[in-house]
Structure 1
Amino acid sequence: MSKLNDILALIDGYIGGSSWFVYLLLGTGLFYTIYLKFPQFRYLKYAVRIVRGKFDREGDTGDTSHFQALTTALSGTVGTGNIAGVALAIHLGGPAALFWMLVTALLGMTTKFVEVTLSHKYREKTDDGTMAGGPMYYMKNRLNMKWLAVIFAIATVLSSFGTGSLPQVNSISNSLFATFGINKVLTGFVLAVLLGFVIIGGIQRIAKVTSRLVPLMALIYFVGAIAVIGYNYENIIPSIIAIFSNVFTGTAATGGFLGAGFAFAFNRGVNRGLFSNEAGQGSAPIAHAAARAHEPVSEGLVALLEPFIDTIIICTLTGLVILSSGVWTEKVDNQFQTTDIVVMDNRYDEAKPEDQQALHDFLLGHTTLPEYTGDLQVVDGKVQNDLTIIHARSVAENVRVLENGAPYNGTVSVVNGVIPNNVSLAFMGKSLIHSAPLTTIAFTKSWFGDFGKYIVAIGLLLFAFSTAISWSYYGDRAMTFMFGSKAVIYFRIVYVIGFFLASFTDTTIIWTLSGITIALMTIPNLIGILLLRKEMKAEVKSFWVEYSERFPEEHAPVD
C-alpha cells in the first residue's frame, strides 16, 4: 500500500500538487474577478434574491428549483473537505493554510459563477426527459472540442470516486469507529444500501433528500463549532493573528508541530480549498444544469453563493475550532497509519534546535536524512532499536507494537524507512493526528466535553453521505454524455460497490487519489472557460438588461 501511495503521490506532485496547477486555478479566478469587475461582491445580494425565486418566470424548463440545485451542489461540496480537509491543511501547512483556503474561495466565487453560467447555457434534454449539462456540453456544443469534453467526462467519472465516494465514506467509517467503536465494514454496508436507495431515484429524489439534509447538517455543525470557539474565547484573537501573520513566512515549530514553509502552506491551502468548494472543477455546473431557469446567468449567480457558504463560513468555523482549541500542535495517543510512518536511521531530539531544524527541512523536502533499512527488534511491544519514528509529520513517542491487541515480540522489517502493511500488527503511540480525528478531538474542547465528538461524527456522517449522493449524479451525467442513459445503471452499481469497499481502505491513499482526480477535471474546465471569456461578458451584460427592465426600482449593476 505504501508503494501504491508513493506512485499516486508522485503523479499528484506533477498535477494537483504542482505549483503551475495552483497558479492556473487562482489565475483564472483572479482574471475573471477583474474582467467582470468583482462580481463576488457586487452581485451577492442579487444572488440571494434569485435563490428565493424572484427572477423565475412561468414555463422555465428544468428538473429542480434554484434552492434545490444550490443544496444539491452544496451537498456535493460540503463534506469531508470542511471537516477533514481543513484539519489536514492546517496539519500540513499551519494556520496560514487556512488563509489560502479563504483566498481560493473568494476567487472561486467568480470562477463558479462563470462555469455554471456557461454550462447552463449549453445544457441538453436527454432521451429520458431529464436535463443534462456541465462543462462537457459547452466544450462539445460551443467550442467544438468533443475530445476535450470526453477527457472531462472521463475525469468526472473518476472524480466521482476520488472526490465523492471513496474519501467520504472513509472519513465516515473512521469517525464512527473512533467515536462509537462501530465496525468499519458494517458502516460501509449500511450506508451503501442507503446510498443505492437514494440514487436510484435520480435527480428529483436526490434534490429532495439534499434540500432537507443540508440545512439540518449546517445547523448541527454550527452549534458545535460555536461552542468550541466560545469555550476557548481567549484564543480567538491569537488564532486569527496566526492565520494572517505567517502568510508569507510560514509557521514556526510549536509543540509537536515541526513547522511549515510558505510554499507548503500556500500549495496545501489552495489544494484543500479547491477540494472543499470545487470552484473551477466543473462539478457544480452539472447539478445546476437541472435547475429551472430561462437565463443562464441567473443560475450562475445562485452558484456564486456556494464557495461563500462552503469555505468562507463553514471552513473558517472549522479552522477556528482547531486553532482555538490548540489540538493541532498536541500529540495524542492514537493508532498509527502505516503510510504515515517514516522510520529514521538516527535518534533525533525535537527539543534540540539543530534536530528540530533538520526534521523540519526533511519534512518539507528541502534536505534528505538517512532512513532506516533493516529489522526493528520488538520486545513486549517496545521497539529496542535506538532510532526515531516519525508519524503524521511529528516525532512519535511511547511507540508500542501490538499483534491482535497483545504486545508483540519479534521483528518488523523496514525498507527505506517504510514499514510494509501487516494487518495483524498495529503501531500505537503519541503523535500529531490529522483529518477527521483532529477535528473530532478539537470539538471535545468545549462546554459539551466528550459529547462534542458526537457532533463531529453526526456532522461528518451527514456531510459526507450527502456529498456521495451528489457525486453519484455527477458521474451518471458524465456516463450519459459518453454512452447514453442506458449506461447509468452500471455506473451506479460500481459506484455503490466502491463506496462500500472504501469504508475500510487506507485514508492516506484515498486523499492522494482525490487530489489527482480533482486536477484531471479542473484543467480542461479552466481552459474551456478562459476560451469563452468574451461570451461570458456578453451574457452578463444581457442578463442585467433584462433584470433592470423587470425590476427598474432596484438599480441593477450595468456591465
Structure 2
Amino acid sequence: MLALLVGTGIFLTVRSGFMQFRHFGTIFKNTVGILHTPEAHKKNEFGVSPFQAVMTALASTVGTGNITGVATAIALGGPGAVFWMWISAVFGMMTKFSEVVLSVHFREKNQRGENVGGPMYYLEKGLHLKWLAVLFAIFAAFASFGIGNMTQSNAISTALQSTLGINPYLTGAVIVVIAAIVLLGGIQSIAKVTSTLVPIMGCAYAIFAILALIANAPEIPHAFAVIFEGAFHPQSIAGGVAGYTVLMAIRFGVARGVFSNEAGLGSAPIAHAAAVTDSPVKQGFWGAFEVFFDTLVICTLTSLVIVSSGLYNNGMQGADLTIAAFGKAIGPFGTFGVTLATVLFAISTILGWSYYGEKSIEYLFKGKSYTEKLTKGYRAIFVLLAFVGAVSSLTLVWSIADTLNGLMAIPNLIGLLGLNGVIIRLVREFFKEKH
C-alpha cells in the first residue's frame, strides 16, 4: 500500500515534469500569496471560498496524527523516519494536487445547487467505473465514524483526563454539543468554523514548538545530523531499545507522512470540490500547499522537538513521548500546549470528516427522494458516536479505521493513474494560458 501511494506520487511528479519543484513559487503565489485578495475568499450561497475549502481539508488532515503519529514513527523507526516522512510529503504534494484537480474538474451540482465532487465522481464520470466509485463512497462513509470521529473524541477525552482530570463523560457531552451545533449548518457552517480554527490552532502549536526548539537550540544541529544519519545508517545511532533498521525507518516514516497529510486517500478532494472556483489547477495548488503545511511544517516541528529532546529511544510512544519532549523543553507550559493542540486538532478533524462521510452517503443515494433524510440521520449517528468514542477503549476501532482508511486509497489511486492524462492536459492548458 505504501509503495503504491508513494509510487503514484513519483509517477505523477515525473509525468508532470516535476511540477511541484519547477513551479513551487507559482503554488505559493496562488495560495499564501493571494490570501489578502478577494479571489481567495470568493464564495456564494451554494459553495465555500477556495480558502475555506482548504481549511476544511486541513481540519481533517491536521489531527492527532501530527502529535501522536509522528512520535510513534520516531519511536518505532528511529529519527531516520523523519527524513522518509519528508520524502513522502514532497511527492505527496503532487498526489494531492492531482486529486483536487480531478475533483473540481469532474464535480457536479447536487439537489440543493451545491458543488459536490471527490474520487467517487471522477471514478464514475472520468473512468466510467461506477462500481469502484460506490466502493470508495462506502469505505469513506464507514471510515468517517472511526478515524474521523471516535478515535478523535477518544484522544480528546484521554488528554483532558490525564492532564486536567476531567471526566470522559463530561468531555463526550461537550464534544456532542459542539459538533451538533456546527454540523447542523452543513458545509457553510463547517467551513466558517474551520477557516477560523485551523489557522489559530496551527499558529498556536507552531509557537509552542518554536519555544521548545529555542530551549533545545544547542541540540538542533545534532538532531538534523541524527535524522539524516538514521535515514541510511540507523544501527550506528540506535544505541537504545529500538534496534532500528533502514527498512523500519522507511516504513514508519513513509506511513506517517502518507497518513498525516492523506495524500492519495481521496478524502480531502471532497472538501476542495465545494470551492467557488473556475480553475481546477488553481484549487489544486491549495491541495499541494495543504501537504506542505501539514507534513513539512507541522509534523517537522513535532519531529524536531522530539529528536532534539533525546527521549525518542527510551521506550515511550505516541502522545506520551510528545508530551514528555515538550515538557522537558519548556516544562508544564509545554504539557499544556500539547494537550490544547490535541483537543483543537481532534475537534477540527471531527468536523472535516463529518463532511466527507455526509457527501459519501449523499453520493450512494444520489437522486433518491429520501437522500436528505439519510444525510440528517448520518449527522445524528455521527454526533452520538463522538460520545461513544470519548468514553470507550478503542484499540479495535483504531485498527478497523486504519484498514478502511487504507481501502479508500485503492480505488482513488486507480482513478489518479487512469486519469493522469486529464491531469497533465489541464496543467498544460493552465500554464499555456498563464504565459
Question: What's the TM-score, normalizing by structure 1?
Answer: 0.73
Give the partner amino acid of 1:167. Answer: T
Matches within 5 A, 1:9-408: 21-51=1-31, 52=34, 56=39, 63-251=47-235, 257-330=241-314
Higher mean C-alpha deviation, range 466-475 or range 188-197: 188-197
2:331 maps to a residue whose letter is G
Summarize deviations over 1:445-484 as a string: whole Å, max 9, x none. Answer: 22x4112111111111111110110000000000000014
Shift in alpha-carbon separation, 1:110–1:88, aligned structure 2, 3 A: same
- Give the alignment partner of residue 477 of structure 1, picking from 359, 373, 381: 359
In the TM superposition, residue 251 of structure 1 has moved relative to its aligned partner by: 4.4
- Give, in whole Å, the separation in 2 of the partners of 1:327 and 1:504: 30
Cα distance, 1:55 vs structure 2: 9.7
Q: Do 2:261 and 2:295's aligned partners in 1 also have CA atoms closer than 8 Å?
A: yes
The alignment status of 1:525 with 2:412, answered yes or no, reads yes
Q: Which moved more, 1:178-187 or 1:279-288?
A: 178-187
Which string of whole-angstrom CA distances, capped at 9 and with x for unpartnered residues, describes residues 162-209 of structure 1? 321122122211111111111222212211221111111101011100
Cα deviation, residue 57, structure 1: 11
- C-alpha deviation, 1:544, in angstroms: 1.6
- Which of the pair is proportionally richer in strand? 1
Deviation (angstroms), 1:533: 1.2
Identity among equivalent positions (%) equals 44
* SS in structure 1 at match of 2:277: coil
Instruction: Work out the CA distance in 2 between the residues paired with 1:148 and 1:140.
Output: 8
Consecutive unaligned residues of structure 1, counting only runs of 5 or more, are 1-20, 331-431, 549-559
1:449 to 331, 339, 345: 331
How far 1:507 moved relative to its partner?
A: 5.0
- What is the distance in 1 between the residues matched to 2:53 and 2:42? 17
* Structure 1 contact 100–270 (Cα < 8 Å) conserved: yes
CA distance in 1, matches of 2:43, 2:158: 44
**AA of the residue aligned to 2:406:** A
- Does the aligned pair in 2 maintain the 1:80–1:167 contact within 8 Å? no
In structure 1, what is the equivalent of residue 396 of structure 2?
A: 509
C-alpha change, 1:493 and 1:253, in structure 2 (3 Å) is: farther
Q: Is the 8 A contact 2:219 2:308 kept in 1?
A: yes
**Higher-RCO chain (CA-CA 8 Å, sequence separation at least 6):** 2
User: How many residues are matched?
Assistant: 426
Counterpart-to-counterpart distance in 1, 2:221 and 2:40: 47
> Does the CA-based 8 Å contact 1:252-1:258 persist in structure 2?
no
TM-aligned CA deviation for residue 35 of structure 1? 0.8
Q: Deviations over 1:486-513 (max 9, x none)?
A: 2211111121122211123335434423
**Structure with greater proportional helix content:** 2
458-467 vs 44-53, greater mean Cα deviation: 44-53
Alignment deviations for residues 510-551 of structure 1 (CA, whole Å, 9 cap, x no partner):
442332122111111011110111111111111122223xxx
Matched, 1:459 2:341: yes
* Cα root mean square deviation, aligned: 2.0
Does the CA-based 8 Å contact 1:163-1:514 persist in structure 2?
A: yes
SS for the counterpart of 1:246 is: helix
| Structure ID, larger Rg | 1
| 1:248-305 per-position Cα deviation (integer Å, ceiling 9, x unaligned) | 3444685753322222222222112122100011111000000011121111111110
Closer, same or farther: CA 96–254 of 1 in aligned 2, 3 Å:
closer
CA distance in 1, matches of 2:81, 2:397: 21
Per the alignment, in what secondary structure is the counterpart of residue 127 of structure 1? coil
Partner amino acid for 2:408? M
* Structure 1: distance between partners of 2:67 and 2:338: 8
Does the alignment pair 1:541 with 2:402?
no
Residues 282 and 521 of structure 1 are in contact (CA less than 8 Å); yes or no, is this contact kept in structure 2?
A: yes
CA separation in 1, counterparts of 2:101 and 2:183?
26
**Residues 223-253 of structure 1 deviation map (CA, whole Å, 9 limit, x = unaligned):** 1111111111222112111111122344468
**Contact in 1 for aligned 2:123/2:133 (Cα 8 Å):** yes
**Do 1:115 and 1:285's aligned partners in 2 also have CA atoms closer than 8 Å?**
yes
